[in-house]
Structure formats: C-alpha cells, structure tokens
Copies of this chain bind each other. A is one copy, B any other.
Amino acid sequence: MRAYAQQDHGHDHHHDGADGRHGCGRCAESATERAERLCQERGLQFTPLRRDVLAVVAAEGRPLGAYDIAERMSGQGRRVAAVSVYRALDFLTEQGLVHRISSRNAFVSCEHDHGDGASLVFLICRSCGGIDEMTAPAVESALDATLAQAGFTPTSRILEVEGECGSCRERRRREG
C-alpha cells in the first residue's frame, strides 16, 4: 500500500508488514507540521489535543476508531476521553486534515494537499487493513455528469472501495 499513492508524502516506505501497520514517527511529524502551518494560515488553534490526535492517526497509517485513539493517548497519568477525541476529530475533519471512513467508523489522516472540493477515493485493503486515498478526476467527472443528469446537487461524496492491495496480492501469490 501507499506504493501507488498518486502524491507521495516525502519518504518512501510501506506500511504493509505482515503485522499490519506500525507507528511511524515520521508520518506523524510531517502531518502535524503541515497542520500547524495550515491552522496558522487560517487563524485557527492547533491545540495540543488536536496535535496529539492527529499524530496518533498519522502514525498509524490505517483507519483508527475514536476509542482506539483515546486509548493510545491515555496512560501515564493522562486520561483522554473519547468525547474529546471526537471533538478534535471534528475539527481535523473540517479542516481536511483527517478523513472519516464511513464503512469502518474510523479515521485516517490525510496525507495529500488536495484542494477543498476534490472528492477522494479510499482504497481499503481487507488483508493488511491499510488504506490509501487517491484523487480520481475521471471518476469525479463521470460522477458529476451522472448527478447533473439526475438533477441532483451534491454537497459531499463518499467513495470507498474494499479489496486487496497490490502488495498483499503479490505476497499472497508468492506465498501460495
């Protein structure tokens, strides 16, 4: 996974070990840095809570539930309630820093600098649990044409595909 991301995010690694995803400090770091800059530009507060939630999600590289996030952030005297996580996620989602995966009730960090209106396609691998997002202009225009013909005015689009990613397919083929 991620090997086929249309827009790579700087360092070339794959999160597709047999164990699923691993925490990646570099992903988390670049994500928070980008978010910090973006919030500053927009005059919004990038609070520690929001930063930490984003860092956890970004480090994971696969969809995480709000309660999982809360759990990861808690410990060592700190207790983060799921409500707080939800609020932070609301904020991050509004700012396009995090995306919600409806089919999983989970969240992933957005690693693309796509425009506001862009509709994304999420590719979720059933085998490794990894996820990738990509823009697909051809799909988008075809969909827009279909909607226009139907007289429907869209405000948001959800496009999630489940299946098997290239890496897993390859591995399965090799291993039998």
**A7-15, A42-50, A153-161: which lies at the interface:** A153-161
List the B side residues contacting A18 at CB < 8 Å.
none
Complex-state Cα separation, A110 to B158, whole angstroms: 19
A152 with B165, Cβ < 8 A, contacts A134-B146, A158-B102, A158-B103 known:
yes
Question: What are the interface flags for A150-174 relative to B under an 8 Å C-beta threshold, 1 for contact and 0 otherwise?
Answer: 1111111111111111100100000
Query: Which of B121, B126, B143 is A121 in contact with, Cβ under 8 Å?
Result: B143
Minimum CB–CB distance from A121 to chain B (whole Å) comes to: 7
Complex-state Cα separation, A159 to B159, whole angstroms: 5
Please state the number of chain copies in the assembly.
Answer: 2
Q: Does A147 contact B (CB under 8 A)?
A: yes
Query: Which of B132, B149, B157, B162 is A161 in contact with, Cβ under 8 Å?
Result: B157
Interface contact B163-A155, CB-CB below 8 Å? yes
List the B side residues contacting A153 at CB < 8 Å.
163-164, 169
Minimum CB–CB distance from A154 to chain B (whole Å) comes to: 4
A169 with B151, Cβ < 8 A, contacts A158-B103, A158-B158 known:
yes
List the B side residues contacting A162 at CB < 8 Å.
154-158
Complex-state Cα separation, A36 to B149, whole angstroms: 34
Q: Closest residue of chain B to A125, judged by CB?
A: B152
Using a CB–CB cutoff of 8 Å, the interface residues on chain A facing chain B are 3-4, 102-103, 121, 123, 125-126, 132, 134, 136, 138-139, 141-143, 145-147, 149-166, 169
Q: Which 5 A-B pairs have the closest CB atoms?
A: A151-B166, A154-B163, A102-B102, A138-B142, A4-B150
